[in-house]
Chains A and B, each alone.
Chain A
Amino acid sequence: MFIVIVGCGRTGSLLAGKLSRSGNEVVVIEQNSDSFALLPVDFSGFEIEGDAAESDVLIEGKIESADLLIVSTGNDQINYLVSQMARVNFDVPRIMVRTIDPSVEKMYEKEERFEIFSQISLLAENMINKIEREGMR
Chain B
Amino acid sequence: MEIILVGGGKLIYHLAKKLISKGHFVTIINKDRKLADDLAREIKATVVFGDAADKKVLEDAGAYKADNLVSLTQKDHSNLFICKMAMDYFGVERTTALVNNPENEELFNILGITGIFNVTDLISSIIEQSVISEDVSNLTMIEEGKLSIFQVEVAPDSAAAGKEIKEIDLPISIVLGGIVRNGDISIPRGGSKIQAGDKIVIISLPEEQAEAIKVFGGEE
User: A53 contacts B107, CB within 8 Å?
Assistant: no
| A73-94 near B? 1/0 per residue, CB < 8 Å | 0011110111011001100000
Q: Which of A25-67 contact B (CB under 8 A)?
A: 53-55
Residues of chain A with a CB closer than 8 A to B111's CB:
84, 88
User: A81 contacts B85, CB within 8 Å?
Assistant: no
Q: Which of A102-122 contact B (CB under 8 A)?
A: 103-104, 106-107, 110
Residues of chain A with a CB closer than 8 A to B54's CB:
101
Q: Quick check: is B84 within 8 A (CB to CB) of the other chain?
A: yes
Q: Which of B66-86 contact A (CB under 8 A)?
A: 75-78, 80-81, 84-85
Q: Quick check: is B55 within 8 A (CB to CB) of the other chain?
A: yes
Residues of A bordering B, CB below 8 Å: 53-55, 75-78, 80-82, 84-85, 88-89, 101, 103-104, 106-107, 110
Main SS class of interface, A: helix
User: B77 contacts A107, CB within 8 Å?
Assistant: no
Question: Whole-angstrom distance between the alpha carbons of A103 and B59 in the complex?
Answer: 13
| A54 to chain B: closest residue by CB | B101
Residues of chain A with a CB closer than 8 A to B89's CB:
106-107
Question: Whole-angstrom distance between the alpha carbons of A82 and B75 in the complex?
Answer: 13
Question: Whole-angstrom distance between the alpha carbons of A30 and B77 in the complex?
Answer: 16
Of the candidates B76, B85, B103, the one whose C-beta lies within 8 Å of that of A107 is B85
User: B76 contacts A81, CB within 8 Å?
Assistant: yes
User: A107 contacts B107, CB within 8 Å?
Assistant: no
Q: Quick check: is B53 within 8 A (CB to CB) of the other chain?
A: yes
| B87 to chain A: closest residue by CB | A107
Given A76-B53, A80-B84, A106-B88, 16 additional A-B pairs, CB 8 A? A53-B76, A54-B101, A55-B103, A75-B77, A77-B75, A77-B81, A81-B76, A81-B80, A81-B81, A81-B104, A84-B107, A84-B111, A88-B111, A89-B106, A101-B54, A107-B88
| A109 to chain B: closest residue by CB | B88
A61 to chain B, nearest CB (A): 16
Q: Which of B30-45 contact A (CB under 8 A)?
A: none
A29 to chain B, nearest CB (A): 15
Residues of chain A with a CB closer than 8 A to B78's CB:
77
Give the size range of B's interface with the partner: 20 to 34
Name 26 A/B residue pairs within 8 A (Cβ), A-sorted: A54-B101, A75-B77, A77-B53, A77-B75, A77-B80, A78-B77, A80-B80, A80-B81, A81-B76, A81-B77, A84-B80, A84-B107, A85-B104, A85-B107, A88-B107, A88-B110, A88-B111, A89-B106, A101-B54, A101-B55, A103-B55, A104-B55, A107-B84, A107-B85, A107-B89, A110-B88
| A110 to chain B: closest residue by CB | B88
Question: Whole-angstrom distance between the alpha carbons of A80 and B177 in the complex?
Answer: 45
Question: Whole-angstrom distance between the alpha carbons of A5 and B85 in the complex?
Answer: 25
Residues of chain B with a CB closer than 8 A to A77's CB:
53, 75, 77-78, 80-81
| B80 to chain A: closest residue by CB | A81
User: A53 contacts B77, CB within 8 Å?
Assistant: yes
Residues of chain A with a CB closer than 8 A to B84's CB:
80, 107
Question: Whole-angstrom distance between the alpha carbons of A98 and B111 in the complex?
Answer: 20
User: A53 contacts B101, CB within 8 Å?
Assistant: yes
| B103-141 near A? 1/0 per residue, CB < 8 Å | 110110011000000000000000000000000000000
| B73 to chain A: closest residue by CB | A77
